[in-house]
Amino acid sequence: MHASLRSVGIYLVGFASLFLIWHVLATWVLSSVLFPTPWKVLLKAIELAQDGTLWEQSSASLARIAAGFAGGSLIGIPVGLAIGSFPIVRRLLEPYTEFLRFIPATALITVAVIWFGIGEGSKIFLIIYTTVFIVIINTAAGVSAVAPNKIRAARSLGAGPAQVFFFVALPATVPYILTGMRLAMANSFVTIVAAELVAANNGLGRMIWDSRMYMLVDQIFVALLVLGLLGFTADRLFRWGIYAFAGRFSPVT
């Protein structure tokens, strides 16, 4: 309990220090027109929340992230398990995984628009693409890192291949899967903003682009802060899940 309160206190001090530095820079160092104060950004956020703009743009981005992230994870987890469990699958699929993961999703925005148009399909495709390879690699690494003595112990007790997989290998791999999903979630936020800047009618990325055209710098900062807050919340949830499973099954390296 005391450790949790201490952690919350440290977070609050960190955020307070950040906003204090921001206020000093905006007030005495930089132009307040180009670098608005925290108070001005807060007032703008309240205004956008009251007229529904902030919720509409945030929900549009989150829906795309959720759909693409879920799709990429549902593809990446079984593929990663197969690569980590079966050498023949590893030799077959690893070259493609290693090749494609070095092509950034942002480089495929134009291709995605050509294939799927400027609708939701192109954004979801890009999120799936940016998610799937990270999840595959971390999942495969988790399977490969399962302690051999645990497998030998299960087999000595009469466990078959399926039982070894579901009751030993898979639980020990969960922290690695969650770590991969955590990293993929961060990349999803980066990708969705880039995709919405180019081909979208709404979303936080589009909000940033439209605000730039009209020099609404305070509105840009609102969008950036919302992105950071949403990403921070998602990351804390994954981090909690990783610690929970790591403490129960195996350490995360």
**184-204: pLDDT as tens digits:** 999 999 999 988 887 778 889
Quote the crossing angle between the two packed helices 170-198 and 53-85, to the nearest 10°. Answer: 140
> pTM of the full predicted structure?
0.83
Q: What would the mean pLDDT of 18-25 be, rounded to a whole number?
A: 81
Question: Residue 208 pLDDT more than 70?
Answer: yes
1 vs 176: which has the higher pLDDT: 176
Expressed in angstroms, the distance from the first to the final Cα of the chain is 26
Indicate if the pLDDT at residue 212 is higher than 60. yes
Give per-residue pLDDT as tens, 113-132: 888 887 888 999 999 999 99
Nearest residue to 174 (alpha-carbon basis) of 242, 83, 73, 85: 242
Please answer whether residues 68 and 124 qualify as being in contact, where contact means their C-beta atoms are separated by less than 8 angstroms: yes
Q: Which residue has the higher pLDDT, 81 or 167?
A: 81
Quote the CA–CA distance of 174 and 46 in Å, as a whole number: 40
Is pLDDT above 70 for 27? Answer: yes
Does residue 251 have a pLDDT over 60?
Answer: no
> What integer pLDDT is reported at residue 26 of this predicted model?
76
pLDDT in tens, 33-74: 678 888 888 999 999 999 989 999 999 999 999 999 999 999
Report the range of poorest mean pLDDT among 16-20, 108-112, 206-210, 231-235: 16-20
- What number is the average pLDDT over the span 240-244? 79
Average pLDDT over residues 16-26: 80
Task: Give tens-digit pLDDT for 147-179.
Answer: 677 777 777 777 777 777 777 778 888 889 988
